[in-house]
Amino acid sequence: MFKFLSFGGKKSEKKQLEEGDFDVFVCTASFLHKNFELLKAQDFSLIFIDDVDSFLKNGKNVDNLFLLLGFTEEEIKLALQRKKDKEDYLELDRIKEKHRNSLKQLIISSATLKPRTNRVLLFQNLLGFEITRFTSTLRKVVDTYFPVKDASLDKLFELASQLVKRLGEGGLIFVEEGYGRKTVEELTSYLKDQGIKAVSYLEVKE
């Protein structure tokens, strides 16, 4: 079992953080900003940042992130330097090589990545990847509907089966809440009888 810690202001939680008595620590960007001295004493092996767009708006937090990843202030300063000569780039290569076998990992996520800060240079020059504007060419979603004159459950089940077979493998069927769990079970059973591999959320074990 993992031991989770989320700081809510209690002295006991602060003591637990100071002693490193946790497996997973959850905090806000604001907490990182206000309590960095407390956090840098910890040895984090994995750092996950949700909504990196928002996180990048605070340059100091980004600098602190790289300190938590094990980079020095001098290395961060060099990575942010706009004008670099050949020797600077060679030094950055040496820095990346030095940290390549680090046990620390960084995962970032964003729904709409639109970086507008020079701190993206840290990711490029120290980690070797670029944070750029997000462009999706894989998802092809079409908003459409199917008119139904006969709204009986038997007819809806039949149409659902036809659509599944027509659209192909992989997909989700949402049953309106008002129909209840029984209808979910009946629809799942019907689809199976039609030769479709189907499983309902009621059958999924946590």
% pLDDT > 70, the chain: 91
Same domain, 45 and 104: yes
Residue 81's pLDDT is: 92
Number of domains making up the chain: 2
Cβ–Cβ under 8 Å, residues 143 and 124: no
Collapsing DSSP states into helix, strand and coil, what is residue 34? helix
Cα separation of 199 and 120, whole Å? 43
Same domain, 71 and 95: yes
Cα separation of 69 and 63, whole Å? 10
Cα separation of 147 and 171, whole Å? 20
Phi first, then psi: what are they for 4, rounded to 5°?
-95, 145
Same domain, 121 and 148: no
Where residue 38 sits, what CATH number does that domain have?
3.40.50.300
Cα separation of 9 and 44, whole Å? 21
- Residue 55 resides in a domain: yes
Q: Read off the pLDDT of each residue in 156-176 and give the average, rounded to a whole number.
A: 89
Same domain, 33 and 90: yes
Q: pLDDT tens digits for 50-70?
A: 888 888 889 999 999 999 999
Residue 206's pLDDT is: 45
Output the average pLDDT for the chain: 87
- Residue 8 resides in a domain: yes
Same domain, 8 and 77: yes
Same domain, 70 and 169: no
Which range marks the domain in which residue 157 is found? Answer: 142-206
Same domain, 168 and 116: no
- Residue 135 resides in a domain: no
Q: Read off the pLDDT of each residue in 100-104 and give the average, rounded to a whole number.
A: 80
Flag whether the pTM goes above 0.75: no
Q: Read off the pLDDT of each residue in 94-102 and give the average, rounded to a whole number.
A: 87
- Residue 132 resides in a domain: no
- Residue 27 resides in a domain: yes
Residue 186's pLDDT is: 95
